[in-house]
């Protein structure tokens, strides 16, 4: 056998061996076939993140309720910080051309909405992604906050009692023990964030009947703090001051704000049905603002103005 023929034989054997090795995989590592892009935009929930393990469980319960309300919709979380999967990783893993709507589970504008989200979207040019508006302010958010206050022991009306809310007949918003509410939010140096929280406080006051003061206060980065707002209301003659927790899930800020009340503090909103509807409403708004090409696929650039919401959209509460 010549040297040339020996070399050819070795080359063939090497190629065959390489093919066989590539075809071998461990039983627990099945061959992964990339999922083709879908014409329906994925709902990617942009979550702040928390070191509290209960926070992730609460977020998953919320997203499970979103999936139950819209079974045909793919819904995935992406964390801005502290937790996995990261928002950037979730978008990077989507197949090329896959449309997506990123719904921030945040209640107003701020650094995350105005800076982090645009940066993450710019780093994923292979998908057609668009950021929805933050969840607040919106009447559905005020409705969820109101219900959480009732669950904590706020003196509801007879109608509230008939649907299962706790009622304290001895207390009245305008009675001898004057009541007030501090709306506790995370806080931001962004003026638009404070405006959104003030708007939510006004909407919650309307839900409470219009006679109860509702003061916006913050866990960090803005004033007044929750403690300052509680002390000011007490100094003004309001002997019972409740804290309404304007947080999606438990965490350091939510716990710190709740401890400042001295009376009742509502739980984070979590998977309240009104918040589920609001998440889908923000998704539908952003999806309707995206044009479709001839194949019905949603593109990444939106024109000026919007189209009507798709069939089955969740109507906002007014």
Tens-place pLDDT, residues 41-56: 999 999 998 889 999 9
Residue in 149, 148, 166 with CA at minimum distance from that of residue 157: 166
Domain parsing of the chain, residue ranges: 42-135+273-288, 139-258
For 143, other C-beta atoms within 10 Å of its C-beta total 20
Q: For residue 98, is pLDDT > 50?
A: yes
Pairing of strands 42-47, 128-131: unpaired
Rounded to an integer, the average pLDDT of 250-268 is 94
**Rounded (10°) angle between helices 139-152 and 273-288:** 170
According to the model, what pLDDT value does residue 115 have?
A: 86
Tell me whether domains 42-135+273-288 and 139-258 share a fold: yes
According to the model, what pLDDT value does residue 249 have?
A: 96
Rounded to an integer, the average pLDDT of 204-222 is 96
107-111, 120-124, 198-202, 270-274: which has the minimum mean pLDDT?
Answer: 107-111
What is the DSSP secondary structure assignment for residue 292, as one 8-state letter?
B
Q: For residue 164, is pLDDT > 90?
A: no
Could you tell me the two tokens for 15? 């190629």
Residue 6 pLDDT grade (very low, low, confident, very high; cuts 50, 70, 90): low
Domain over 42-135+273-288 is classified CATH 3.40.50.300: no
According to the model, what pLDDT value does residue 238 have?
A: 96
Q: What is the mean pLDDT of the chain?
A: 82
Task: Report how far residue 317's alpha carbon sits from residue 315's, in angstroms, rounded to the nearest whole number.
Answer: 7
Q: For residue 3, is pLDDT > 50?
A: no
More confident residue, 79 or 82: 79
More confident residue, 184 or 112: 184
Residue 289 pLDDT grade (very low, low, confident, very high; cuts 50, 70, 90): confident
For 312, other C-beta atoms within 10 Å of its C-beta total 11
Instruction: Report residue 112: phi and psi, to 5°.
Output: -65, -45
Task: Report how far residue 202's alpha carbon sits from residue 214's, in angstroms, rounded to the nearest whole number.
Answer: 7
Q: For residue 287, is pLDDT > 80?
A: yes
According to the model, what pLDDT value does residue 281 have?
A: 98
4-8, 226-230, 266-270: which has the minimum mean pLDDT?
Answer: 4-8
Residue in 177, 180, 183, 148 with CA at minimum distance from that of residue 165: 148
Rounded to an integer, the average pLDDT of 193-197 is 94
Task: Report how far residue 214's alpha carbon sits from residue 232's, in angstroms, rounded to the nearest whole number.
Answer: 12
According to the model, what pLDDT value does residue 214 have?
A: 98
Q: Full-prediction pTM beyond 0.85?
A: no
Q: Which residues of 21-46 are buried (b: 16+ CB within 10 A; e: fewer)?
A: eeeeeeeeeeeeeeeebbebbbbbbb
More confident residue, 101 or 157: 101
Cβ–Cβ under 8 Å, residues 242 and 179? yes
Domain 139-258 fold:
Rossmann fold (3.40.50)
Q: For residue 317, is pLDDT > 70?
A: no
């Amino acid at each position: 056998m010549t040297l040339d023929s020996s070399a050819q034989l070795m080359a063939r054997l090497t190629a065959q061996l390489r093919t066989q090795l590539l075809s071998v995989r461990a039983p627990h590592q099945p061959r992964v076939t990339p999922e083709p892009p879908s014409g329906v935009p994925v709902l990617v929930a942009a979550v702040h993140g928390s070191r509290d393990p209960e926070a992730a469980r609460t977020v998953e319960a919320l997203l499970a309720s979103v999936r139950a309300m819209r079974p045909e919709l793919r819904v995935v979380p992406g964390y801005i910080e502290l937790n996995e999967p990261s928002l950037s990783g979730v978008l990077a893993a989507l197949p090329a051309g896959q449309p997506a709507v990123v719904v921030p589970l945040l209640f107003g504008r701020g650094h995350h909405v105005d800076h982090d989200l645009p940066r993450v979207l710019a780093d994923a040019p292979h998908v057609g992604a668009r950021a929805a508006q933050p969840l607040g302010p919106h009447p559905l958010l005020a409705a969820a906050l109101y219900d959480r206050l009732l669950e904590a022991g706020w003196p509801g009306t007879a109608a509230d009692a008939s649907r299962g809310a706790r009622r304290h007949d001895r207390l009245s918003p305008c009675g001898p023990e004057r009541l007030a509410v501090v709306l506790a939010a995370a806080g931001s140096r962004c003026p638009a964030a404070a405006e959104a929280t003030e708007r939510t406080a006004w909407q919650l006051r309307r839900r409470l009947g219009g006679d109860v003061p509702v003061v916006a206060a913050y866990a960090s980065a803005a004033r007044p703090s929750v403690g300052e707002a509680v002390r000011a209301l007490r100094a003004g003659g309001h002997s019972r001051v409740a804290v309404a927790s304007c947080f999606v899930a438990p965490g350091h800020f939510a716990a710190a704000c709740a401890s400042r009340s001295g009376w009742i503090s509502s739980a984070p909103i979590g998977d309240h049905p009104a918040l589920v509807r609001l998440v889908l409403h923000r998704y539908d708004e952003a999806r309707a603002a995206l044009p479709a090409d001839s194949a019905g696929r949603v593109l990444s650039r939106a024109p000026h103005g919007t189209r009507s919401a798709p069939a089955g959209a969740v109507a906002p509460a007014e």
